[in-house]
Amino acid sequence: MSKDKEQYREYYTALGLRIQFFRKTKGYTQEVFAEMVGISWSFLSQIESTACLKGISLETLFKMAEVLEIEPYQLLKKD
């Protein structure tokens, strides 16, 4: 794991958990949500996993927010 990713572990984890929270709030399974966003189920699973620090593009972040009907910043907030 790269030093940069480890340095920002809490941000990666918070992002994944927030995506998962909003996805479940909408009632979407990982499979359905991934298809709506245009990514693979396995990639979404890695993003949402607290054990895997998986980065995403801004385009993917924006598409996720659009599908979830929220503003992109809501996925980046760290409570």
Question: What's this model's pTM, rounded to 2 decimal places?
Answer: 0.91
Domain count for the chain: 1
Domain annotation covers residue 75: no
Taking the C-alpha atoms of residue 25 and residue 43, their distance in angstroms, rounded to an integer, is 20
1: pLDDT confidence band, cut at 50, 70 and 90? low
Is a pLDDT exceeding 80 seen at residue 3?
no
What is the CATH number for 21? 1.10.260.40
Are 21 and 27 contacting, i.e. CB atoms less than 8 angstroms apart?
A: no
Taking the C-alpha atoms of residue 79 and residue 38, their distance in angstroms, rounded to an integer, is 28
Is a pLDDT exceeding 90 seen at residue 4?
no
Domain annotation covers residue 63: yes
Could you report the per-residue pLDDT of 16-63, keeping only the tens digit for each? 999 999 999 999 999 999 999 999 999 999 999 988 888 899 999 999
Q: What range defines the domain where residue 15 resides?
A: 3-67
Are 74 and 65 contacting, i.e. CB atoms less than 8 angstroms apart?
A: yes
**Helical (H) or strand (E) element with 43:** helix 41-48
